[in-house]
Amino acid sequence: MFPKLVPMPSPNLLTERDADKTPILECINLGINFGGLAAVENFNMAIGRTEITGLIGPNGAGKTTVFNLLTKVYQPTKGTILLDGNDTHNMTTAQVNRAGIARTFQNIRLFNDLTVEENVTVAMNAHMRYNMWTGIFRLPAFWKEERVAHERALELLSIFNMADLADTKAGSLPYGAQRRLEIVRALATNPSLLLLDEPAAGMNPSETAELMENIRKIRDTFQIAILLIEHDMNLVMNICEGIAVLNFGRIIAKGTPEDIQSNPAVIEAYLGKQKEA
C-alpha cells in the first residue's frame, strides 16, 4: 500500500521514487531556544519532492514551532534548513514563501474583509509582474495580469468546489470552507512544499474523508511535497507516506505508518509508560 522507504545518509526516510532527487526540504540539527527552554532541538528531517509527510506528537511537543522555523517566523538558534538544496538562513518570511514554502494555520488566519477570490489573488502578488504605475494608469499589462490571476484563482478554487463562492467575504464563510480556502490561498503562492497545520481540526468524519482525497489530489496534480501536522490518526495513517513523531521538541521516531504504530517510544509518548507487571 505504501511506497517502500529507503534509508538516507542521515537518519531520514525518503520514498523510493524521490530517493535519487534532491529532497525538497532538509533540516540539519535544527533547533530554537526560548530563554532557557529548548523548544525544538536536533531536528533532522528530509522530505522527498512529492512526499506526503506527517508530523505528529502530543500537545506542546513543538510541532507548530517547527513550522514557524521553516517559514522563518522564528529565527532558528541552531542548525540549517535547506530548501531544494539552498540554505534559507538569510531569507525573510516573505522570501521563504517566494522560494517555495507555503502554509496554513492552526487557527484560521484568512483576510476576512477580502473576498474569497481576493484572498487567493493576493497570494499571487509575488508572481505578478506589473508595477504600481501600470496599476494606477490601468495599462494593458494590468488587465492582462489581473485576468490571468482571476482565471487561475477560479481554477484553484474549483479544486475544492468553491468557485461559486468567489465574491463572498472570506469572513462570512462557514468553518469548513474557511479551512479549505486557507489551503487554496497557500497553493496560490505556487509552493513546492505545502505545510498544513491541523487541516482536519474541527471537521467531522465525512469532511475529513473529503479532505484526505483533496490532499492526495493536490499532491498528484501539482507534484509537490506536503508536510502536515495532525491529531486525527486516521488521516495521518491513511495518507502519510512517512511520519515523524515529536515529543518535548525532539524527534523520537521516524518511519512508515506501520513502523510508528508499533513503536514503543511513540506509544509511551502518547499513553505514558506501562507499569511493569
Partner 1 sequence: MEFLSYLISGISLGSVYAIIALGYTMVYGIAKMLNFAHGDVIMVGGYISFCAISYLGLPGWLALILAMVVCTVLGIVIEGLAYKPLRSAPSLAVLITAIGVSYFLQNTALLIWKAAPKVYPSLIPTTNAQGESNALQLFGGQLSISYISLLTMASCIVIMIALTLFTSKTKMGKAMRACSEDKGAAQLMGINVNATISTTFAIGSALAAIAGVLLCSSYPTLQPTTGSMPGIKAFTAAVFGGIGSIPGAFLGGLLLGVIEAMAKAYISTNLANTIVFAVLIIVLLVKPAGLLGKYVPEKV
State the minimum distance, in angstroms, from the CB of residue 186 to partner 1: 8
Name the maximum alpha-carbon separation found in the chain: 79
DSSP line for the chain? -PPPEEE-SSS-EEEGGGTTS--SEEEEEEEEEETTEEEEEEEEEEE-TT-EEEEE-STTSSHHHHHHHHTTSS--SEEEEEETTEE-TT--HHHHHHHTEEE--SS----TTSBHHHHHHHTTGGG----HHHHHHT-HHHHHHHHHHHHHHHHHHHHTT-GGGTTSBGGGS-HHHHHHHHHHHHHHT--SEEEEESTTTT--HHHHHHHHHHHHHHHHHH--EEEEE-S-HHHHHHH-SEEEEEETTEEEEEE-HHHHHT-HHHHHHHH-PPPP-
CB of 114 to partner 1, least distance (A): 6
Between 5 and 83, whose beta carbon lies closer to partner 1?
83
Name the residue nearer to partner 1 (CB basis): 226 or 253: 226
State the nearest-atom distance from the C-beta of 139 to partner 1, in Å.
12
User: Considering beta carbons, is residue 28 or 128 the nearer one to partner 1?
Assistant: 128
Residue number, 12 or 119, with CB nearest to partner 1: 119
Residues contributing to the site for partner 1 (CB under 8 A) = 71, 73, 92-94, 97-98, 102-103, 105, 109-114, 118, 121-126, 128, 130, 132, 135-136, 142, 145-146, 149, 185-186, 188-189
Least distance to partner 1, CB of residue 149, Å: 8
In the bound state with partner 1, the residue whose beta carbon lies nearer, of 142 and 248, is: 142
> Is the Cβ of residue 37 or residue 94 nearer to partner 1 in the bound state?
94
**Least distance between partner 1 and beta carbon 62 (Å):** 19
Q: How far is the CB of 224 from partner 1 (least distance, A)?
A: 15
